[in-house]
Amino acid sequence: MRILVATDGSEGGNRAIDYAAAKAKADGTELLIVNILGGYGIPDRVVRAFTQAQQGWLSELLESLSAEILTKARERALAAGAPAVLIESRSGDVAPTIIHVAQEKGVSAIVVGKRGSGRVEGLLLGSVSQKLVSLAPLPVTVVP
């Protein structure tokens, strides 16, 4: 049994990690922390206008950011008592990619923060959490 928690390094993501780590500890389950490279607010048309060198630099920057987010998240989950923590970075459209990873890794549930660092701050649920609740074929817990 495995729980997937998605984080973008935001406070909402940290609350989701805390919740998922406590649940993993209580259930004795493995915790998979994922960060999806995407949804950083850079329009595709802007990225396409970059030169190959600029696109390569941006890709390296995002991968480095993802690695930093995941390292901090793993440390946080272990400090909270999660018995086993795996980390994974992927790229793509955030909600569908989370669902794909969940199905690929055979997780029993997804945990996500109510709102991350996305552009739309005024919604009750962030667009990623709302999409996950609507589309995921397994239980999704949205942490306030």
For 102-127, the DSSP string reads: HHHHT-SEEEEES--S-S--SSSS-H
Greater confidence, 113 or 123? 113
pLDDT score of 27: 96
**pLDDT tens-digit map of 1-46:** 899 999 999 999 999 999 999 999 999 999 999 999 875 556 667 6
pTM of the full structure: 0.86
Rounded CA-CA distance 47/51 in Å is 9
pLDDT score of 124: 42
For 87-91, 92-96, 124-128, 133-137, which range has the lowest pLDDT when averaged over its residues? 124-128
Cα pseudo-dihedral 63, 94, 116, 75, rounded to 10? -50
Q: Find residue 15's DSSP bridge partners.
A: none
| CATH architecture, domain defined by 2-143 | 3-Layer(aba) Sandwich (3.40)
Domain ranges of the chain: 2-143
Q: What's the DSSP call for residue 50?
A: S
**pLDDT tens-digit map of 47-75:** 677 777 887 787 788 889 999 999 999 99
Q: How many C-beta atoms lie closer than 10 Å to residue 48's C-beta?
A: 8
| Residues 77-83, mean pLDDT to the nearest whole number | 98
pLDDT score of 117: 53
Rounded CA-CA distance 36/7 in Å is 8
Query: Tokens for 79?
Result: 């400090």
Greater confidence, 112 or 38? 112
